[in-house]
C-alpha cells in the first residue's frame, strides 16, 4: 500500500512541476550595440508567459522620426554594418509585409517613432514566437534584432526598403 501512495505522490509532483513550467515566465534582456558608425544603443527584452511573447525595445541615439525594427535570421552582429545578421527571419517563406497582413515574415516587427531627442520605444506581443521551444518556425533563439535607419514601407521585397542597420543584438541565452 505504501508503494502506491509514494508512486501517486511522485506522479502528482511531476504533473504539478510540468504545469508550473509551462505557465511560467521566460525572459531575455539584451543590449543593442551601435552599427554603421552610429551612436545608437539601447535594450531589448523578450518575455514569454502563457504562450505569448512580449517584445519591448528602448532605443536612444536615433535621428528623430520613424525607424524599422526586425528580427534577422542569424545571431551574428560582428560586421560593422551588421550585414552578418543576414536577412529578415522568414521561417515560413512568406513575402515581406506588415505584421497581420496576408503575408509577412515572422521577423517583420514594424516601425516605431524616435522623439526629438532620438529616443524611441516599441512593444509588440505575439503567440507566433517562443523562447527556446522546439518549433523552429517560432523559436527566436539564435536570431538577432536589427534597428534600421529608415522606415519599413511594408512593400519592397524582401526588406521593406528600411535602410542601413544602425543597431544590432544577438538573441541568445
Per-residue pLDDT of 30-78, as tens digits, reads 999 999 999 999 999 999 999 999 999 999 999 999 999 999 999 999 9
Please indicate, yes or no, if residue 83 is contained in any of the structural domains: yes
Q: What angle do CA 118, 126, 15 make, to 5 degrees?
A: 130
pLDDT at 118 (0 to 100): 98
Please indicate, yes or no, if residue 70 is contained in any of the structural domains: yes
pTM: 0.85
pLDDT at 25 (0 to 100): 72
pLDDT at 19 (0 to 100): 32
Please indicate, yes or no, if residue 14 is contained in any of the structural domains: no
Q: Provide the domain count of the chain.
A: 1
Please indicate, yes or no, if residue 4 is contained in any of the structural domains: no
Please indicate, yes or no, if residue 130 is contained in any of the structural domains: yes
Please indicate, yes or no, if residue 12 is contained in any of the structural domains: no
Please indicate, yes or no, if residue 34 is contained in any of the structural domains: yes
pLDDT at 107 (0 to 100): 95
Which domain CATH number covers 90?
2.60.40.200
With CA atoms as reference, report the closest residue to 36 among 148, 111, 169.
Answer: 148
Cβ within 8 Å of residue 18, ≥6 positions away: none
| Positions of the chain with pLDDT under 70 | 1-24
Tell me how far apart the alpha carbons of residues 165 and 129 are, in angstroms, rounded to a whole number: 23
Please indicate, yes or no, if residue 159 is contained in any of the structural domains: yes
pLDDT at 127 (0 to 100): 97
Owning domain of residue 107: 24-171
Amino acid at each position: 500500500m505504501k508503494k502506491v501512495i509514494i508512486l501517486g505522490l511522485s506522479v502528482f509532483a511531476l504533473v504539478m512541476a510540468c504545469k508550473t513550467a509551462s505557465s511560467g515566465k521566460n525572459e531575455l534582456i539584451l543590449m543593442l550595440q551601435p552599427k554603421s558608425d552610429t551612436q545608437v544603443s539601447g535594450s531589448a527584452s523578450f518575455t514569454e508567459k502563457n504562450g505569448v511573447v512580449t517584445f519591448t525595445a528602448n532605443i536612444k541615439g536615433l535621428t528623430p522620426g520613424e525607424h524599422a525594427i526586425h528580427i534577422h535570421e542569424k545571431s551574428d552582429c560582428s560586421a560593422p554594418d551588421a550585414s552578418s545578421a543576414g536577412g529578415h527571419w522568414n521561417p515560413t517563406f512568406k513575402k515581406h509585409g506588415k505584421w497581420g497582413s496576408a503575408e509577412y515574415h515572422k521577423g517583420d516587427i514594424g516601425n516605431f517613432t524616435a522623439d526629438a531627442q532620438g529616443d524611441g520605444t516599441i512593444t509588440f506581443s505575439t503567440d507566433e514566437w517562443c523562447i527556446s521551444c522546439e518549433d523552429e518556425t517560432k523559436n527566436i533563439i539564435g536570431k538577432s534584432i536589427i534597428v534600421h535607419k529608415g522606415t519599413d514601407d511594408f512593400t519592397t521585397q524582401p526588406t521593406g526598403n528600411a535602410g542601413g542597420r544602425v543597431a544590432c543584438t544577438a538573441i541568445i541565452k
